[in-house]
Every structure is written in structure tokens, then in C-alpha cells.
Amino acid sequence: MPGLLPLLPLILLGGGAVAAMLAAPRAPALSRALAALALAAAAVAFGLRLPAPEATFALIVDDRLARLAGLVVCLSGLGSLAFLRPGGPSREGPALLLLATMGGALLSGATHAASLLLGLELVTLALVALFVLPLSAVALEAGYKFLILGAAGAATLLMGLALAHAATGSLEFAALSQRGALVAAAAALLLAGLAFKMALVPFHMWTPDAFTGAPGAAAAFAGAASKVAVVAAIVRLDTVGPPAGWGIGLALFGGASILLGNLVALRQDGIARMLGYSSIGHTGYVAAVLGAGAAGAHDAALFYIVVYAPALLAALCVSTLVGPEARIGDLRGLVWQRPLAGWALALALISLAGLPVSAGFFGKYVIFTALIEARAWVLLGLALTGAALGAYYYLRFLAVIFRRLPYPASPALPGAERVLLLLATGATLLLGIRPDLLLDALP
């Protein structure tokens, strides 16, 4: 039986969540500081354990995949915390963000139905509360839709797990390697439940409302951290050899998401709503490459979703700074008014578009390479079409940022946002120049 050291990140996140919740009513600044400390400590614990031997528990495993995904989830949570304001009705925000991060870390190492469901629901319920914290009409609508659709996704997932147990007598992921009609039905329902968490078509309806109505930090966590954790869980399920319908379902979800997400994003003038619809397309690339079943599919999917996270965090942080309903016209001359915010958003859009000198360029490269290796020509065609559409609407927003206006420079950004934008931009540039740093760390 391994010691408690592999569980240290989860202990830090859980203890930090309790401490932050206790401090929230009277000392919101202290609550935020405790949350930041817990997230940073958990990230360090995950990072230091990357080369350590694997440790297995009853419901979770502490291996390289779980540690890398947990590290990215914690860093994304820390980035989201940087522009989450705990004042007013949002005092419990830092504690809720810690609970969501804890759920994502647990989900990254799940090997059993119980840990899978617990991790997913920790993320979902904490995000529902984060979405509605502003108590505005649009925030309540976002939280309501996420709650109702999340309940439907959880019910579908539970039904799949129940069928798997009925067919195999086990709740371990490895049970899905068996064959039979009941196991195939269980895998299909399980995949549908996970597709909701990834916002894959047709389970994507909550995404644009979450990005426009919820606080930007909550949307950033939902779009970056939670998806990293879900992709880690899907990769772990994929390694056990589920029924053939699993790959077909991933391919169908992925192809539909690439097409719909990019086509609808093409028509958006609001930056947050555009990012919401484009995030559907980005998760579509990941699902498509996993469904294609290439030899390097797992590495391609993990690399893509990890490099997507800092770009999305930076873009949503700037969108929040510009205004809750920022539109393309509001970005005009941003690089001259707020140079750091303007350049950070510009590089984030370049990375999301998959253009050179950014991490997103290599993300698209590994996706296309894996699809070519799998000879998945239809999916490759859809991915190329989606990339072309994405480049158009991202560059449309990018061009506006550099239009010079006679407005004076705006006041300096708050310290936390400044650090986040610098680190996110640095990570995007570094992985654009040296993608091997992440590729070598993949399991």
C-alpha cells in the first residue's frame, strides 16, 4: 500500500478549500490568498512527482498522466483565480475554484466508476455555483443551463456505469475491455456523459451562455482546466480497449463539433461568445484524433488540450478586463491603449488560430499528423476546414487590436492579471519555439 505522498496534492486542495471557505465571510482577501497558496503548493507537488514511480490506490492511480494533467489543472485554476474577484456576492469564489480544481485532479487519476463520477460532479457542482455568483440574469441563466444539462449528462453517465457493472460485475475501467451488446451500450452512454463535459456537439448548448454570462474566470476554468481533466479520463478509458463503437462515437462527435463550432463562431461579434463557440471546435479536434485511433493519438490529444489552456486563459482574462459584453469594436486600438493586454490577446488569438511562432501551431501539426497516420481522410478534411475557418475569424479580431486610435493609454493592469498574462504569453511562446519540452513530458 503506497503512502500518503501521492495524495498530497488532493490533500492540499481539499484542506485549502476548507480554509478558504472559512475565511470567505469576513476576510475575502485572505480567502483568495489561501486559495492561491493551496493551488501553487498542489502544482509544485504534482510537478515534483512527475518522474516518481507509479502508485496505485483502490480508486485512483498516481502515474505520469495523472500528474501532468493535475499539474495543468492546478496551474489553470491558479490562472483563473488571478482574475476572479472575491468581493461582494463572490466571496466564496476562491473556495469553489479550489473544489473544482480538486475534482479535476481526482478525475485525472480516476480508474474506477466511483472516482470518475465523484471527480466529474465536484467540477460540475462547483462550476454551477461559480457561474451564478454575480447573481445577474445572464449569470443565473448560464448556471441554470449548466445545472440542468449537467444533471442529464450525469444521469447518462450513471446509466452507462450501471450497465457496465451489470455486464461485467466490475466498476473498474478495465471492465470495458470485455465484449458484448451490454458493454457496448454502457460505453456509448459513458461516452455521451463525458461528451457533455467536453462540450461536444450535440451536448454543447451550455458553452456560449457560460462564456458570456458567467464570470470570465469561471468560464476559463470550464474551458481549460476541466477539459484537460476530462481528456485525461477519456485517454485512460481509451487505453483499456473499449468496444469499437467508442472510437466511432468519438469521431462523429469530433467531426460535428469541428464543423458546427467553427461555423457558428464565424458569425460572432462578441469576443467571449466567439471563444465559447470556437472552444467547441477545439475539443472537436481532440475527440476526432482520439476517434481516429492513430498510434500517436493520445500524445496529440494531450498536447493540443494543454497548449490550448494558456491561450484561452489569456483571451478570457483580456475579455473580462475590456468588459463583460466586449465586442469586436471594443478591442479597437487595444495594443496602444493597454500594450500588455493587447499583445497577450494578439498572441492568444494567433495560438488559437494555429499560426506559426505559437504553441497552437504545433498543436494543429500533431493533430493533422496523427489523422494522416490513421488515414482518417474525412476527419482530416473536416479538421483542415475548421482550421481555415478559425484562422479567418481569429484574424478578424486580431486586425482590430492593432488599429491605431488617438485615445490615451489606459491605467496599468492589476498585478494578478499582469502576472497571468505574462506567464500565459510566455508559455505560449516557449512551447511554440520548444514544443519538445511538453512532448517529452507526455506519458
> What residue type is assigned to position 408 of the chain?
P
> What secondary structure does DSSP assign to 231-242, as a single string?
HHHHHHHHHT--
pTM for the full predicted model: 0.91
Name the nearest CA neighbour of 70 among 30, 42, 105.
Answer: 105
Q: What is residue 370's predicted lDDT score, i.e. its pLDDT?
A: 92
Bridge partners of 61? 56
SS3 133: coil
Q: What is residue 89's predicted lDDT score, i.e. its pLDDT?
A: 52
Nearby residues of 381 by Cβ (< 8 Å), 6 or more positions away: none
Task: Give the count of beta carbons closer than 10 Å to the beta carbon of residue 270.
Answer: 17
- List, run by run, the mean pLDDT of 10-residue segments along the chain (443 residues): 76 92 85 92 91 82 90 93 68 89 92 89 90 84 85 88 85 80 86 88 84 86 91 89 83 93 89 91 93 87 93 90 79 84 91 89 92 91 93 90 68 77 90 86 79
Cβ proximity of 321 and 341 under 8 Å: yes
SS3 211: helix
Q: What is residue 196's predicted lDDT score, i.e. its pLDDT?
A: 87
Q: Whole-angstrom Cα distance, residue 305 to residue 228?
A: 6
Q: Whole-angstrom Cα distance, residue 102 to residue 104?
A: 5
Cβ proximity of 206 and 213 under 8 Å: no
Peptide bond into 202 cis (omega under 30): yes
Grid coordinates given for 212: 458570456
Q: Whole-angstrom Cα distance, residue 242 to residue 251?
A: 14
Nearby residues of 312 by Cβ (< 8 Å), 6 or more positions away: 220, 223, 224, 275, 279, 348, 352
Q: Whole-angstrom Cα distance, residue 212 to residue 219?
A: 8
Q: At what angle do helices 137-168 and 206-213 cross, to 10 degrees?
A: 140
